[in-house]
């Protein structure tokens, strides 16, 4: 995954120096409109963590000293990825964070990858703009099921994308999502479903991406 192409570089970000007071940090957050921003060291290279507006307001409402350094309420100090991190590392690190800090090869702060950008990447991998039907196929998770289902579908139409879900969640049911290309017809769809059913693979849901797009 080419993180450099999708993350926001440091020069385009609002950041806070680690020596900044909570009062000054709150002013920066209010002016920027962000709920949290990265905290960097004096060299503007080392990521110290994130400071959240809600934590400062909570501190203030409890009569806390607003002249304390921003590091007093710093969060997510260990939540970061590297410029060459894998997609799985990114996905499981960002979780509920609004963004994840990105470090370069020298461990210097490079920028951030936002949660929304990651979701856009996932949407692109789903090929929503180039697909028509998404078939959710259920199986018992036997070895070779994915290959077998893909082979059946490929007899009728190309496969735009494929995603496997529920791995490790249910001992008996696995779900495989296959996206058919934009030019796939309902006749092709019905033929695929019939053949899958004949081979004991159940299509539990079909979504028409063209109709879904019209609802947004």
> Mind listing the domains of the chain with CATH numbers?
3-120 (3.10.580.10), 127-214 (3.30.70.260)
State phi, psi for 51 to the nearest 5 degrees: -120, 130
Angle at 36 between CA 33 and CA 38, to 5 degrees: 120
Q: Mean pLDDT, consecutive 10-residue segments, the chain of 216 residues?
A: 84 96 97 96 96 97 97 95 85 86 96 87 66 88 89 95 68 80 94 94 89 53
| Other CB atoms within 10 A of residue 215 CB | 5
Q: What is the pTM of this model?
A: 0.67
Please answer whether residues 30 and 61 qualify as being in contact, where contact means their C-beta atoms are separated by less than 8 angstroms. Answer: no
pLDDT digits (tens, 9 = 90+) for 77-112: 999 999 988 877 888 888 888 999 999 999 999 999
pLDDT digits (tens, 9 = 90+) for 154-173: 999 999 888 887 655 555 57
């Amino acid at each position: 995954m080419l993180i450099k192409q999708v993350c926001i570089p440091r020069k385009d970000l609002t950041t806070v120096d680690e020596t900044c007071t909570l009062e000054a940090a709150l002013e920066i957050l209010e002016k920027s409109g962000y709920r949290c921003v990265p905290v960097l060291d004096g060299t503007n290279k080392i990521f110290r963590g994130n400071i959240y507006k809600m934590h400062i307001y909570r501190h203030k409402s409890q009569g806390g000293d607003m002249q304390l350094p921003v590091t007093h309420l710093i969060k997510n100090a260990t939540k970061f990825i590297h410029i060459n991190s894998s997609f799985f590392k990114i996905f499981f690190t960002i979780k509920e964070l609004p963004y994840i800090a990105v470090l370069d090869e020298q461990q210097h702060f490079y920028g951030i990858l936002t949660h929304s950008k990651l979701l856009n990447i996932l949407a692109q991998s789903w090929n929503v703009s180039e697909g028509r039907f998404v078939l959710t196929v259920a199986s018992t998770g036997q070895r070779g099921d994915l290959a077998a289902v893909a082979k059946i579908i490929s007899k009728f139409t190309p496969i735009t994308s494929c995603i496997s879900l529920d791995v490790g969640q249910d001992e008996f049911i696995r779900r495989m999502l296959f996206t058919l290309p934009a030019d796939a017809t309902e006749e092709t769809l019905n033929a695929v479903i019939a053949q899958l059913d004949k081979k004991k693979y159940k299509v539990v849901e079909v979504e028409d991406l063209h109709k879904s797009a019209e609802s947004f």
